[in-house]
């Protein structure tokens, strides 16, 4: 009987430890991806990219001459993938945004434009 009680206690402690580890991992991943939120600029574009994060969801707004539509299609621990459409020229690209250790964003474009754009925080 005593062996059963000890085994039960160890099992409950392991469950709590596993649950705590999962919660800590989730908090760490969430805080990392939240750092993408803000207004970003790049030398390759005349647009500013505003990224908003709320309740686990991202919203992208592009500020410039044309109305660009950017929709989030996937997100992970350290990336967000969007589809970006330009109604002026009917171009469509998939953009994968990844937060770099330097605090910049690496944006990889595929589709009607292929290339990489590095964004920096806009501070004006």
Residue 93 lies in a domain: yes
Residue 15 lies in a domain: no
CA distance 18 to 37: 30
What's the whole-model pTM score? Answer: 0.72
For 104, the domain range is 35-121
H/E run at residue 124 = none
H/E run at residue 59 = strand 57-63
Residue 39 lies in a domain: yes
Residue 99 lies in a domain: yes
Residue 2 lies in a domain: no
Angle at 55 between CA 117 and CA 124, to 5 degrees: 45
Residue 27 lies in a domain: no
CA distance 116 to 101: 17
Residue range 15-69, pLDDT digits in tens: 555 445 444 444 444 457 678 899 999 999 888 999 999 988 899 999 888 889 9
Residue 1 lies in a domain: no
What CATH code is carried by the domain that includes residue 70? 2.40.128.520
HSE at residue 32, side-chain half, CA atoms within 13 A, is 17
Q: What total of structural domains would you count in the chain? A: 1
């Amino acid at each position: 009987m005593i062996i059963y009680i000890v085994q039960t206690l160890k099992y409950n402690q392991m469950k709590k430890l596993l649950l705590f580890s999962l919660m800590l991992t989730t908090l760490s991943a969430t805080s990392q991806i939240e750092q993408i939120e803000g207004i970003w600029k790049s030398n390759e574009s005349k647009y500013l990219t505003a990224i908003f994060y709320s309740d686990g969801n991202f919203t992208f707004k592009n500020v410039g001459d044309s109305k660009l539509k950017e929709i989030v299609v996937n997100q992970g621990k350290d990336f967000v993938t969007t589809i970006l459409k330009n109604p002026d020229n009917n171009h469509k690209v998939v953009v994968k945004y990844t937060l770099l250790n330097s605090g910049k964003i690496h944006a990889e474009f595929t589709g009607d434009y292929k290339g990489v754009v590095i964004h920096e925080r806009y501070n004006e």
